[in-house]
Structure 1
Amino acid sequence: MATSSTHDADRSAPLHLTWDDIGSATRSIAQQAVAAGAPQAVVGIVRGGMIPAVWIAHQLEIRDVRTVEVTRTTSDGINAAKATPTARNPASLGDLTGLDVLLVDDIAGSGATLAHAARMIRGRGPTRVRTAVLAVNRANWRQGSGPGRRIDYIASMTDTWVVFPWEEQHER
């Protein structure tokens, strides 16, 4: 695992990423993935993981892009309440038997959503499952080991809430 950058921001102020930030982050993840062997399929976690998953798939020239819907936050607001990860329509993953899969999400707070989705994918028979996120919010990380031991590719780390360019640009 490699981390390309760290954002040291005021923990009370959200970090607003730009489309250029997203381009840099997806390129970093694509380069890291290729260095370990190009995946055969990319799976994006709906909603936030779909945009980076598609960008990464284009950069890797992978046409097999799939979705899985796993939600944990109860709303879209800053510091929204969390619940147990819930999956909808797991059949959307299809048959992954024998494939090398890259699972992508926009952000990991606790890592629970990513871990839940990875377990679902592993149940569909791939030969390998790797995980990637654009950012990890260390302030929310609650797992015993650091994010780099649980997530294969991390583009950046921060200690605050992250607002992505595809989200509304105002606080709720």
Structure 2
Amino acid sequence: MADKTLSAEERAGRAFPVSWDQFHRDCRALTWRLNEIGPFHAVVAITRGGLVPAAIVARELGVRVIDTICIASYDHTKQGELQVLKGISADTAQLGGGTGKGLLIVDDLVDTGKTGRMVREILPDAHFATVYAKPKGRPLVDTFITEVSQDTWIFFPWDTALSFAPPLRDGAA
């Protein structure tokens, strides 16, 4: 697949800005659901987006072993081929019996499902949880909190900055 550069307008087709407070509440809601499913031996964050929710979920579940699987699929403007930059450690793999049983994979979002499919191949028996899910990737996720349309671009709090918004009466959109 050729890289496609997205304009700001395309990325914001249906904008869904998420504040730190809202993201934290959504991560805690995810944890409430996961608490009924566990216990888990370890949390595996899909980087980079899964780092923040994995930390919150691990804290709330009392899980001390946190690992990462680093997969590059796109930056803020273009999507390309998947590349595993770092796999999970041998110690974490052993906790999951080599197939991921008893491991919890956490990511911020499942979008097209490409990353999710790759992680499922590596850890087929792990429980896969995301905070947000889009329709194309949703079948790959075991637990999620909020589904958004495929054309929605989620603006995560770590990707945005506070700025002045002019009043509507001054012509603001």
How far off is 1:65 after superposition?
0.4
Aligned equivalent of 1:115: 117
Aligned equivalent of 2:166: none
Q: Distance in 2 between matches of 1:154 and 1:137?
A: 10
How far off is 1:98 after superposition?
4.1
* 2:134 is the counterpart of 1:137: yes
Runs of 4+ residues over 6 Å off in structure 1: none
Asked if the contact 1:137–1:161 (Cα under 8 Å) also holds between the matched residues in 2, the reply is no
Asked if the contact 1:44–1:103 (Cα under 8 Å) also holds between the matched residues in 2, the reply is yes
- Greater relative contact order (Cα < 8 A, sep 6+): 1
Q: Match of 2:26, SS?
A: helix
TM-score by length of 1: 0.75
Asked if the contact 1:43–1:53 (Cα under 8 Å) also holds between the matched residues in 2, the reply is yes
* 2:81 is the counterpart of 1:84: yes
Q: Distance in 1 between matches of 2:116 and 2:140?
A: 9
Corresponding residue to 1:165 among 142, 157, 172: 157
Aligned residues with identical type, % of pairs: 22
How far off is 1:20 after superposition?
1.6
Q: Provide structure 2 residue ranges, at least 5 long, that are not aligned to the other structure.
A: 1-11, 97-101, 163-173
TM-score by length of 2: 0.74
Aligned equivalent of 2:165: none
How far off is 1:133 after superposition?
0.9
Q: Distance in 1 between matches of 2:83 and 2:145?
A: 25
How far off is 1:94 after superposition?
2.8
What's the Cα RMSD here? 2.0
Length, aligned pairs only: 143
Residues 21 and 35 (structure 1), Cα distance of their counterparts in 2 relative to 1, 3 Å cut: same
Whose Rg is larger? 2
